[in-house]
Amino acid sequence: MKKILSSIIILAVIILGYFLTMDRGNKVELNSDNNQANSQSEQDAGNNLKVGTRVGDLAPDFEVVDYQGNTVKLSDFKGSKPVFVNFWASWCPFCLDEMLLMGRIQEQFGDAYVTIAINRNEGLKTAKQYTDDLGVTNKYIVAWDDGDDIYKRYNGFSMPYSIFIDKDGIIKSLKLGPLAEEELVERIGEIIN
């Protein structure tokens, strides 16, 4: 019995240590070997930028279908508007607060940028019910990632997960975990200027 209790305490300390060392609002660049290996080595013919998922890379294009059935591509906005991509799920408690915040900030900045909120593989009915209940369905583009392919392509491993992309398609910052209001405003300001 003492061994089991000791094991549980040790495991709890390890888990607590992990969460205490996680990103606490700092801008992060994913530098892991796994990210490097998964980062695409394609080159954008126009400006010789590497397509990849790290800060400074040209963001990989993706295509989603929004709630109205419209196909939306990241490349639709290249050259015209910065894009804030946010991966979320209805089971994520931090996502609830963040989605409400995203709606307020989108209203504050107007059409200076585009928000694409991508649900992680929960299906249209579940995702739409969640955003309808929150009252954010019509405040920004809400879509779902059937099969979680886009999230995996962007090396996601935390919820929520946010990517800030300037109008030239360059990843300016990444955020693992929830965003505070001041931080979201600051990061949006960085991609629209």
Going along the chain from its start, the domains and CATH numbers come out as 26-192 (3.40.30.10)
Q: Please name the amino acid found at residue 89.
A: A
C-beta of residue 146 within 8 angstroms of C-beta of residue 115: no
C-beta of residue 116 within 8 angstroms of C-beta of residue 141: yes
Six-digit token string for 165? 């992309």
Beta strands 141-145 and 114-120 are parallel
pTM of the model: 0.76
Q: Within 10 Å of residue 32's Cβ, how many Cβ atoms?
A: 11
Per-residue pLDDT of the chain (193 residues; tens, 9 = 90+): 767 766 666 655 455 444 433 433 333 333 333 343 344 444 444 567 899 999 999 999 999 989 888 999 999 999 999 999 999 999 999 998 999 999 999 999 999 999 999 999 888 888 889 999 998 888 899 998 888 999 999 999 889 999 999 999 999 999 999 999 999 999 999 999 8
Please report where in the chains the tokens 């694409």 appear, as a residue.
116
C-beta of residue 88 within 8 angstroms of C-beta of residue 99: yes
pLDDT number for residue 142: 92
C-beta of residue 88 within 8 angstroms of C-beta of residue 98: yes
CA R_g for the chain = 18
